[in-house]
Amino acid sequence: MVCVRVVERKKGMKSYFYLQYSFRRDGNVVTKEKYLGIEIPKIMKEIEEEAAQEMESFVRDDLNEIKSHFQKGWKKLPDAIKEKHVQEIAVAFTYNTNAIEGSKITMRDARDIISDGIAPRKPVRDVKETETHAKVFLDMLLSEEKITKRLLLAWHKELFSSTKPGIAGVFRNYLIRVGSYVAPDWQDVKELMRDLMRFVTASDNANPVEFAARVHYRFEKIHPFGDGNGRVGRLLINAMLWRAGYPMLIIEYRKRRAYYRALEKDEEGFVKYFIRNYIRVHKRRGS
């Protein structure tokens, strides 16, 4: 998110050093410099950390602005318009999250199923999973239930009880591989999920956008279910954002490769991707 480097400039026979740091904001690269002197200070690490903290403050300002703008706009909307807006989010989110997992349902199909109750001539399983995902999503928006292991199991059960009853609502009891990534041993899943839920309840002071990214990354690395981890994990993101008063984020099917590449990075790499994407989407839309 922030690129920091030392730049040397010569004037005559003398060299002058500057700390240059840049970051992306509103689609543009913003670059700032700080004069270091005629030699690189020994406390370079501290100076770099100070510069990084300054840049992170810009990121926090952007996130706060997005939340404030969203809250003000949302409060002004009549209830009927809010309902319509939520319905459109349900359609877009359901289409994209299921398409990432291989569903043949198009955006138009999703709208027909969710908004009009019309089933297209597509695989029955895809149609049913579209219906159930939209229902779980809309119920999630209305619920104030805390995020717990029990809630995640309930989401998974409702999502897949009709299409994959053998795995619905239970943690996996076998090893699983996702591409080149080998998920943790199934015997460790319950303890890892307990740790994740402790993390969820113990990090009240974290920025909600960053926090949602970290929880999603850790959940996907555990990969607790036999199938449907991505869909549950993306529901988890939006549950956390919505309850914290932030606009939700849809991971788009057409940008799934960037999302997958980010998940292959370490946690900090994924968090940077997520926050950058979140700001880009919502600053562009004006949230």
pLDDT in tens, 114-168: 999 999 999 999 999 999 999 999 999 999 899 999 999 999 999 999 999 999 9
- Looking only at the bridges linking them, the beta strands covering 181-182 and 177-178 are antiparallel
The strand pairing partners of 177, in sequence order, are: 182
3-state secondary structure labels for all residues of 32-65? EEEEEECCCCCCHHHHHHHHHHHHHHHHHHHHHH
Q: What is the pLDDT of residues 168-177, one digit of tens each?
A: 999 999 999 9
43 touches 50 (CB < 8 A): no
Exposed/middle/buried for residue 133 (C-beta within 10 Å: 0-12, 13-18, 19+): buried
First CA to last CA distance, the chain:
21
Domain spans in the chain, listed from the N-terminal domain onward: 2-66, 79-285
Cα gap 156→158, rounded to integer Å: 5
Burial 47-76 (b: 16+ CB within 10 A, else e): bbeebbeebbebbeebbeebbebbeeeeee
Residue 107 carries which side chain, given as an amino acid letter? M
pLDDT at 100: 97
DSSP per-residue codes, 182-224: EPPPGGGHHHHHHHHHHHHHH-TTS-HHHHHHHHHHHHHHH--
Closest by Cα among 20, 23, 1 to 9: 20
Task: For domain 79-285, give the CATH superfamily.
Answer: Fido-like domain (1.10.3290.10)
Cα gap 63→281, rounded to integer Å: 12
Q: What is the pLDDT of residues 42-91, one digit of tens each?
A: 655 665 666 556 566 678 888 999 999 999 999 999 999 999 999 999 99
For 109, the token pair is: 């199909």
Cα gap 36→50, rounded to integer Å: 13
Mean per-residue pLDDT, 27-36: 71
Q: How many beta carbons lie within 10 A of that of residue 116, not counting itself? A: 8
22 touches 32 (CB < 8 A): yes
